[in-house]
Structure 1
Amino acid sequence: MRDRAQALLIDLDGVLRRWDPAPMITVEVEFGLKPASLLETAMSWDIYRPAMAGEITDAEWMRLVADRLPLSADESTAAVAAWQAYRGEVDPEALAFVREVRAGGRKVAIATNATDRLRDDLDALGLTAEVDLVLSSWELKVHKPAPEYFEQACQAIGELPKHVLFVDDDDRVIRGARSAGLSGYRWAGPEHVPYLRKVLDLPE
């Protein structure tokens, strides 16, 4: 039987923060863009990776996205700005779980691939004070699921990998965490919180 986890690393996007697709769809319709073209362009590996690895800023990343849209320069800039104005919403059930973990005496860190915009987003969402640490790929200069990310994350939270529970919504990242020695669990909603409580040895 594995040792009980003493700390929680939790992903931001898809776990603590959820995204309503409606604002993006509205922008794409307004500017005559193909469905999902904004997100697909932004996630192009050659510009997404350096944005997550701290090699370029969020503003530089978004300029690259705008440059690739099939619009005029002014329209592209306006479309990206309108899309980026919406910064998502906190998932109340995931936040309730974080609060429960901290109340049980366990440290919690947001462990996320992000840009230099992350800190402002967390402030705006009211999440900064809800966790003990923020472990951003942009600041660590390495992104999930690289083993170096998890090594630095465990050092920062002060626990051995075998004593850390990692929760994410991406199977590939979960596999990376497990390969690095952490307990990895894929978040699909709050229905498995009772199991996660047991992993963290929290009271029922």
Structure 2
Amino acid sequence: MARERATALLVDFDGVLRRWDPAVAAGVEREYGLSEGVLGEIAMQWGRLQPVLTGRVSHAEWVASVADALAESVGSPERARAAIEQWQRYRGEIDPDVLALVREVRAAGVRVGLGTNATDLLDADLAALGLVGELDVVVNSSVIGVHKPAPEYFQAACAALETPPARVLCVDDQDWVIRGARAAGLSAYRWSGPEGLRYVRAALAY
């Protein structure tokens, strides 16, 4: 039996609507004499990252913990803090094709939610990147206290979109999130780049 076409879109932030240029972190690592990839390795350690994504610690506290861990490896707290501060100044870039899609589907009456595992810096990032008013709802894991791919996350997202799960299309760049969305009853599409725009348009009822 064919699924109903989706009437709401839940789009991921990092990796879909926002892109990160890896050259920025690589440049900071070279400038401060750090090993290649160390910033991401430390920052994304799940035991450090999970609390900030569920709102148990603030973005500032998470950044401080990253600097502390980096200081242990470089032997200089001051150098570590300077490197982290420079790395954090870069807040990514909006994918213009994805933003154009969001605007297009919203203009056609499709509700669009930003569904993201994020910190309490998200609102500031959205403002800095010019996204205020571009989305109908923002579902931030650190606000609701649970992160993707938990079913409770998707339940909260569908409630915010005022749309039943079977009519929501989730677009994300992580396989584990796609599996979680489908398990929660949503349609889901694994994003790998602009070639996915055609699929998303076809999957939405507008």
Query: More displaced, 90-99 or 193-202?
Result: 193-202
Structure 1: stretches of 5+ with no match in the other structure: none
Offset, 1:21: 1.1
Question: Which residue of structure 2 lines up, in the alignment, with residue 3 of structure 1?
Answer: 4
Partner residue, 1:109: 113
What is the match of residue 144 of structure 1?
Answer: 148
Name the structure 1 match of 2:43: 42
Q: Structure 1 residue 30 and structure 2 residue 34: aligned?
A: no
Please, what TM-score do these two structures have when normalized by structure 2? 0.96
Corresponding residue of 2:181:
177
Q: Aligned AA for 2:36?
A: P
Whichever residue aligns with residue 121 of structure 2, its letter is: R
Percent of aligned pairs with the same amino acid: 55
Q: Equivalents in 2 of 1:128, 1:141: separation in Å?
A: 22
CA distance in structure 1 between the aligned counterparts of 2:141 and 2:25, rounded to whole angstroms: 25
The whole-number CA distance in structure 2 between the counterparts of 1:17 and 1:174 is 18
Local SS of the residue matching 2:185: coil
Amino acid at match of 2:58: T
Cα-Cα RMSD: 0.8
The 5-angstrom pairing of residues 1-204 of structure 1 reads: 1-69=2-70, 70-71=73-74, 72-202=76-206
The TM-score normalised by the length of structure 1 is 0.97
Instruction: Map Cα deviations across residues 151-185 of structure 1 (whole Å, 9 max, x no partner).
Output: 11101110110010000000110000000000010
**CA–CA distance in 1 between the matches of 2:100 and 2:161?**
21
The amino acid across from 1:98 in the alignment is V
Shift of 1:192: 2.7
Q: Which runs of 5+ in 2 are unaligned?
A: none
Distance 1:78 1:194 in 2: 43
**Shift, 1:195, TM fit:** 2.2
**Distance in 2, Cα, partners of 1:52 & 1:158:** 24
Question: How far did residue 75 of structure 1 move?
Answer: 0.9
Partner SS state of residue 4, structure 1: coil
What is the distance in 1 between the residues matched to 2:96 and 2:152? 31
Aligned positions, number? 202
Counterpart code for 2:148: K
Offset of 1:198 from its aligned partner? 2.0
- Which amino acid in structure 2 is aligned with residue 67 of structure 1? D
Structure 2: distance between partners of 1:112 and 1:96: 19
Q: Return the offset for 1:194.
A: 2.2
Q: Distance in 2 between matches of 1:40 and 1:192?
A: 29
Superposed CA offset, 1:88-138 (max 9, x none): 000001111111110110100110000000000000001121111111001
Partner-residue secondary structure (3-state), 1:128: coil
CA displacement at 1:73 relative to structure 2 = 1.1
Partner SS state of residue 114, structure 2: strand
CA distance in 2, matches of 1:192, 1:169: 11
Matches of 1:140 and 1:165, distance apart in 2: 20
In 1, the alpha carbon distance for the partners of 2:5 and 2:23 equals 41
CA shift, 1:20, in A, is 0.7
